[in-house]
């Protein structure tokens, strides 16, 4: 009797040790979103710590980012692993670490007000068709260091390197009103006031010319002049602040008085002030919150 052996059926083609099915598009998208959210939360924790002065408790950081202390602790642990945050010996306070300081120093080295302000100058020139420039404070007064002219330039005898009047130019008045160290600007202003003609002195308050002028400019948020520095020329200027809150430059726009409205509440002044705020923010300045 012939007995035939039965072979076990072999695996179907392609059905052996097949790899796991690839991750679906929905799962991959969800994982990417989770990674992005984790990174955003981690950065929010780091920014909150910086906003709290660079040193704070877990509870304070959690309150600042509106997250539970347990969740914040996990992100702080990740930041500590990268050297961006460190914990004091008592374990009650967290502080910015050496890597965060290194990043901050690198950013500070790039905080050149002239370079940072260049896009603002171009934007003012192109949108308002005005002459725009940036000035910094020199030994003899405000000095123009970057200058942009529109397609139809206004004829003025100021260029890069020109020293501006402290009392009669919008640029000088912005430095005069907003610089916190007033010794230099006050000395230059007093010198100009003593040399001013009767007609120019009549433009200022008799009893307290410097005090009244400074108060008016600070209240307006910018300095504006019409025909006081150059006949037929009006200008608006606003201060540029760095990360320490010090004035490091002034952004100015000027044009022929016939087509240039220097009203501090007008569109030109509002545009200049907006650009100055943008430049200041790029330099690390954070305005104090109004109460």
Report the mean per-residue pLDDT for the chain. 83
| Between 155 and 60, residue with greater pLDDT | 60
Across the range 65-88, mean pLDDT stands at 87
Kind plus residue range of the DSSP H or E element containing 77: helix 69-81
Across the range 184-203, mean pLDDT stands at 84
Across the range 66-84, mean pLDDT stands at 87
pLDDT value of residue 15: 47
Q: Which fold has domain 28-108?
A: Arc Repressor Mutant, subunit A (1.10.10)
Pick the range with the lowest mean pLDDT from 100-104, 213-217, 277-281. 100-104
Is residue 241 classed as helix, strand or coil in its secondary structure? strand
Assign 1 a pLDDT band (cuts: 50, 70, 90). Answer: very low
Provide the 8-state DSSP code for 261: -
Q: How many helices (H) and strands (E) does the chain have?
A: 10, 8
pLDDT value of residue 280: 94
Instruction: Say if CB 128 and CB 154 are below 8 A apart.
Output: no
pLDDT value of residue 198: 81
pLDDT value of residue 108: 58
Q: Which fold has domain 111-282?
A: Beta-Lactamase (3.30.450)
At 176-187, the pLDDT tens digits run: 999 988 888 999
pLDDT value of residue 290: 42
What angle (nearest 5°) sits at the alpha carbon of residue 144, between those of residues 138 and 148?
Answer: 165
Tell me the pTM: 0.66
Range of 75-84, 149-158, 165-174 with top mean pLDDT: 165-174
Calculate the CA 214 to chain-centre distance.
24
Cα–Cα distance measured from residue 174 to residue 171, given in angstroms and rounded to the nearest whole number: 5
3-state helix, strand, coil in the chain (%, to 5): 45, 15, 40
Q: Where are the domains of the chain?
A: 28-108, 111-282
Provide the 8-state DSSP code for 160: T
Q: Which of 141, 136, 158 is nearest to 250 (CA)?
A: 136
Phi then psi for residue 240, to 5 deg, are -115, 125
At 249-281, the pLDDT tens digits run: 999 999 888 888 999 999 999 999 999 999 999
pLDDT value of residue 159: 79
Cα–Cα distance measured from residue 264 to residue 170, given in angstroms and rounded to the nearest whole number: 11
At 44-66, the pLDDT tens digits run: 888 888 888 788 888 899 898 88
pLDDT value of residue 16: 47
Instruction: Say if CB 238 and CB 244 are below 8 A apart.
Output: no
pLDDT value of residue 51: 81
């Amino acid at each position: 009797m012939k007995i035939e052996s039965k072979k076990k059926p072999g695996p179907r083609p392609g059905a052996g040790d097949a790899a796991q099915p690839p991750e679906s598009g929905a799962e991959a998208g969800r994982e990417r979103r989770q990674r992005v959210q984790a990174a955003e939360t981690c950065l929010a924790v780091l920014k909150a710590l910086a906003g709290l002065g660079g040193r704070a408790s877990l509870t304070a950081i959690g309150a600042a980012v509106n997250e539970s202390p347990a969740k914040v602790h996990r992100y702080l642990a990740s930041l500590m692993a990268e050297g961006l945050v460190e914990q004091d010996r008592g374990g009650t306070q967290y502080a910015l670490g050496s890597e965060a300081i290194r990043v901050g120093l690198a950013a500070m080295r790039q905080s050149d007000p002239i370079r940072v302000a260049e896009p603002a100058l171009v934007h003012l020139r192109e949108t308002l068709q005005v002459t725009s420039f940036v000035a910094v404070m020199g030994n003899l007064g405000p000095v123009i260091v970057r200058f942009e002219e529109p397609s139809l330039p206004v004829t003025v005898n100021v260029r890069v390197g020109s020293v501006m009047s402290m009392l009669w130019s919008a640029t000088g008045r912005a430095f005069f009103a907003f610089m916190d160290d007033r010794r230099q600007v006050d000395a230059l202003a007093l010198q100009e006031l003593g040399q001013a003609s009767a007609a120019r002195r009549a433009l200022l308050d008799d009893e307290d010319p410097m005090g009244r002028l400074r108060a008016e400019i600070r209240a307006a948020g910018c300095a504006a002049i019409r025909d006081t520095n150059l006949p037929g020329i009006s200008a608006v200027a606003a201060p540029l602040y760095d990360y320490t809150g010090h004035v490091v430059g002034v952004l100015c726009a000027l044009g022929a008085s016939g087509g240039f409205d220097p009203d501090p509440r007008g569109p030109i002044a509002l545009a200049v002030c907006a650009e100055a705020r943008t430049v200041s923010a790029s330099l690390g300045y954070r305005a104090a919150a109004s109460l």
